[in-house]
Structure 1
């Protein structure tokens, strides 16, 4: 089911604004992730990039703009967000519907060569620990030697006291940037449901069985340990503000 480009653009732009509430220095985080991917893929013709939990393609589009020679595949389980992304971004990106961490999810992407870089932002924290472990292991098997997984997400410090400080620092930063003046997640979805142009997409979405958002309470140290166990040789944080981290794992 197709949606008009003008409608898709309207809702993608609203998505961009509301997401600023949920990621400290969102644009800087995107830039850092793109910097890492550009460095790791330098000298590789037509690198293959995956954006996991891509929504309507926010990070994927920035990667495609930075590296127009790359093949960028956005992966998400939500057909409505994927269709908005297809209509808004056109042929610059390829979108694939898959439930990250479920058995066979990587096979559903129809990849024809090893992955040069997989990225994600504010998405993998929704996975339960077992699903996250499967995701890390699956990606380690698909990413080429020297390739990279880059995850920008809310990751818990190991210390409860540091957690309190990190949350407060993030809140203060958001207030200074006026990020909390944007509409929230619930308001965005309420607006989508009230838009008659999106009724067919919503009907299709509501017929699907969506993966349950288990979530996890893993700390940053736990994530790094899981990445090493999965087969990534070098892991660590390259950027942080409050609880917001960019973690890099190199095969």
Structure 2
């Protein structure tokens, strides 16, 4: 039995608030990603968009509002977040359960044509460099010529005094905006796990919250390292288009 629309709305709204605890200028970053996608899709009346690590559909829903004619495929490994996406943002995208970088993940997308853009926010940092390179190669094969990979995440500078300074600037900005007053990641998952309406979903992923499926840790690589991997994967044109602190939107274009 699926989660009710009322429960899904409650949990997705709480998710949106707790994410502000972490993502510097989250809404502006979503807007910039949408700006890039809209530009890349100019002249394509029914663009195909991939939302990698889509969670409960936050970015998919915003893209659907910006480009109402788009076909959007959201992919995530977590059954709880995917069910919330289907119940609350079901009209925005087709949601697929698979893990980025694992065998068969691109087949699970069920694509019948080249994608115009692949987007991601705070998801690809879960991949170590070797897996990230293979993921970038897979995405280069999925995108049409002229398509784009648009990644919004936290990218530290190269090692040196600025590696901590940029993160500090971002945290200060979030604090000034009141972002640290919201529920955090761990408390959201603990509260969701205690909701009887989500019990069956948690049985499918383990009751322990995110750590029960998070075996890869985080690998925050500098922009220069991402650019190197993207060029090795076949993206010749790579550049950040927006930055606040260490939060950036990195764009890679396929020839």
- TM-score, normalized by the shorter chain, greater than 0.5: yes
1:217 offset after TM fit, Å?
4.5
1:168 offset after TM fit, Å?
1.4
State how far apart, in whole Å, the 1-side matches of 2:214 and 2:21 are: 24
Show the counterpart of 1:200.
Answer: 200
Once superposed, what is the RMSD of the aligned Cα atoms?
A: 1.3
Show the counterpart of 2:55.
Answer: 55
TM-score by length of 1: 0.96
Show the counterpart of 2:182.
Answer: 182
Show the counterpart of 1:249.
Answer: 252
- 1:83-142 CA-partner distances (Å, limit 9, x unpaired): 000000122211011100112210111011001000000111111112111110000011
- 1:47-97 CA-partner distances (Å, limit 9, x unpaired): 000010110010111000110100011110001100000000122211011
State the aligned residue count: 250
1:211 offset after TM fit, Å?
6.0
Show the counterpart of 1:226.
Answer: 229
State how far apart, in whole Å, the 2-side matches of 1:182 and 1:21 are: 6
Show the counterpart of 1:167.
Answer: 167
Answer yes or no: is 1:134 the counterpart of 2:131: no
TM-score by length of 2: 0.95
State how far apart, in whole Å, the 2-side matches of 1:248 and 1:92 are: 23
State how far apart, in whole Å, the 1-side matches of 2:99 and 2:34 are: 24
CA contact (8 A) 2:60 2:93 kept: yes
CA contact (8 A) 2:154 2:220 kept: no
CA contact (8 A) 1:99 1:211 kept: no
- 1:182-220 CA-partner distances (Å, limit 9, x unpaired): 00001000110111111111112229x846224325211
Q: Which moved more, 1:94-103 or 1:159-168?
A: 159-168
**For 1:145, what is the secondary structure of its paired residue?**
strand
Please, which runs of 5 or more residues in structure 1 have no aligned partner?
A: none
Show the counterpart of 2:219.
Answer: 216
Instruction: Rate the CA distance shift 1:14–1:156 in 2: closer, same or farther, 3 A.
Output: same
Please, which runs of 5 or more residues in structure 2 have no aligned partner?
A: none
**For 1:160, what is the secondary structure of its paired residue?**
coil
- 1:9-64 CA-partner distances (Å, limit 9, x unpaired): 00000000000011100000000000000000011021000010110010111000
Show the counterpart of 2:120.
Answer: 120
State how far apart, in whole Å, the 1-side matches of 2:120 and 2:62 are: 13
